[in-house]
C-alpha cells in the first residue's frame, strides 16, 4: 500500500465555486445620482464652496416661516452593522424648494439580498460612487442652520449618519410619524406610502432616497398646515414638542451609559438592528406602509 495516504489524511475534494470572485468596488470623486431631478430644481454637488459660516442653528422661538428645513432619507446595506449606500435630501422653506442633494455612496460591504430587492442597489451600482466620509462632510454643510425632517420614529437616518461620522449633526430633528400621530390621534406608526395616500402626496419612486426625501418634505408641509390650525404650531419649539424623536446616542455614549447601569459596555448599540425591526415596538405599533 506504499504511496497511498494514511487513513484520516485524505484531502476532501474542493467544492466548485460558481460565479466569479469580485474585487473591491472603485470609488469616485463626484456625486452619482440614481433618480435625478423631478424638474429644473438646483442640485448640490460634492465640490460646492463652503458657505456654512453664514447659517446658524435656529432657537426654539424661531417662527416656522423663518425656518430652513432639510428632509432626508438613507438607503443602507440592510444588515448589522448598517452602512450607507445612498443619501437623498431636500432643502426647503414653507413657500419654496431651495436645493436637492442626491448621491450613491461607496461601500464594499455586502448588501443584504432583501434590501437589494427593496431599493435596487447592488455593489455594481456603487461603482465610482464617492466615499461616505466625503459625502457626509458635504452633507453637514448642506444642513447647517436647518431643521432636519425624517420619516422615522427612532431617527434611524440621522443616527446612521451620526454613527458614520462619529458626531451628531448640529441640528434639531422632526419626525413626521410623530406629527401624524398628533394630528390624527394614531397609536400605530404610519408608513410613508400610507401617509402620502392620506395627504394626497405624489411619491415618484418609493425606496429611492431622493424620492423618499421629497415625499417626506411634502407630507411634513401637509401635516404642518393642519397642525398650525388645530394645535397652533407657530415656532420651532411647538414642532419639537410634538414631533421630536428620542435624543441620539452614539455608540461610545451607549457604552458609558451601560457601564453606569452595571451592564457590559461591549453590547452592540441599537444601530446594529435590522432596519425593518430597528426599535422595540410599543403596544399597537406597526411600521408597515
Question: Tens digit of pLDDT for each residue in 174-212?
Answer: 999 999 999 999 999 999 999 999 999 999 999 999 999
C-alpha cell at 170: 448640529
Quote the pLDDT of residue 22.
62
Least confident range from 6-20, 61-75, 159-173, 263-277: namely 263-277
Contact 272, 175 (CB under 8 A): no
Contact 82, 256 (CB under 8 A): no
Question: What is the rounded average pLDDT of the residues 261-273?
Answer: 36
Kind and range of the H or E run holding 86 = strand 84-92
| pLDDT digits 0-9 by tens, 3-25 | 444 444 455 555 444 444 467 88
Distance CA 151, CA 287 (A): 11
Q: Which domains does the chain have, with CATH numbers?
A: 52-277 (3.30.420.10)
C-alpha cell at 80: 448589522
Quote the pLDDT of residue 8.
46
Task: Note the pTM of the prediction, 2 decimals.
Answer: 0.80
Neighbours of 67 (CB within 10 A): 19
| Confidence grade of residue 53 (pLDDT, cut at 50, 70, 90) | low
Does 45 score more than 80 pLDDT? yes
Does 266 score more than 70 pLDDT? no
Contact 142, 91 (CB under 8 A): yes
Amino acid at each position: 500500500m506504499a504511496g497511498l495516504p494514511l487513513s484520516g489524511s485524505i484531502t476532501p475534494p474542493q467544492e466548485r465555486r460558481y460565479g466569479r470572485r469580485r474585487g473591491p468596488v472603485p470609488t469616485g470623486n463626484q456625486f452619482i445620482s440614481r433618480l435625478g431631478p423631478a424638474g429644473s430644481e438646483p442640485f448640490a454637488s460634492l465640490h460646492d464652496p463652503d458657505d456654512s459660516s453664514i447659517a446658524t442653528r435656529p432657537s426654539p422661538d424661531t417662527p416656522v416661516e423663518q425656518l430652513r428645513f432639510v428632509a432626508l432619507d438613507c438607503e443602507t446595506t440592510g444588515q448589522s452593522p448598517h452602512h450607507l449606500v445612498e443619501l437623498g435630501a431636500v432643502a426647503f422653506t414653507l413657500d419654496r424648494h431651495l436645493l436637492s442633494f442626491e448621491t450613491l455612496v461607496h461601500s464594499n460591504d455586502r448588501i443584504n439580498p432583501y434590501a437589494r430587492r427593496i431599493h435596487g442597489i447592488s455593489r455594481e451600482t456603487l461603482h465610482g460612487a464617492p466615499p461616505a466620509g466625503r459625502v457626509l462632510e458635504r452633507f453637514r454643510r448642506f444642513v447647517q442652520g436647518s431643521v432636519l425632517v425624517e420619516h422615522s420614529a427612532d431617527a434611524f437616518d440621522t443616527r446612521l449618519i451620526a454613527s458614520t461620522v462619529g458626531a451628531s449633526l448640529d441640528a434639531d430633528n422632526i419626525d413626521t410619524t410623530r406629527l401624524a400621530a398628533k394630528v390624527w390621534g394614531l397609536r400605530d406608526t404610519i408608513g410613508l406610502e400610507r401617509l402620502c395616500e392620506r395627504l394626497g402626496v405624489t411619491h415618484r419612486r418609493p425606496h429611492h432616497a431622493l424620492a423618499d426625501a421629497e415625499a417626506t418634505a411634502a407630507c411634513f408641509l401637509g401635516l404642518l398646515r393642519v397642525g398650525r390650525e388645530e394645535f397652533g404650531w407657530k415656532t420651532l419649539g411647538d414642532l419639537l414638542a410634538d414631533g421630536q424623536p428620542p435624543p441620539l446616542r452614539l455608540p461610545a455614549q451607549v457604552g458609558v451609559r451601560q457601564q453606569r447601569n452595571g451592564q457590559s459596555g461591549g453590547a452592540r448599540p441599537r444601530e446594529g438592528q435590522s432596519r425593518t425591526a430597528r426599535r422595540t415596538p410599543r403596544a399597537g405599533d406597526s411600521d408597515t406602509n
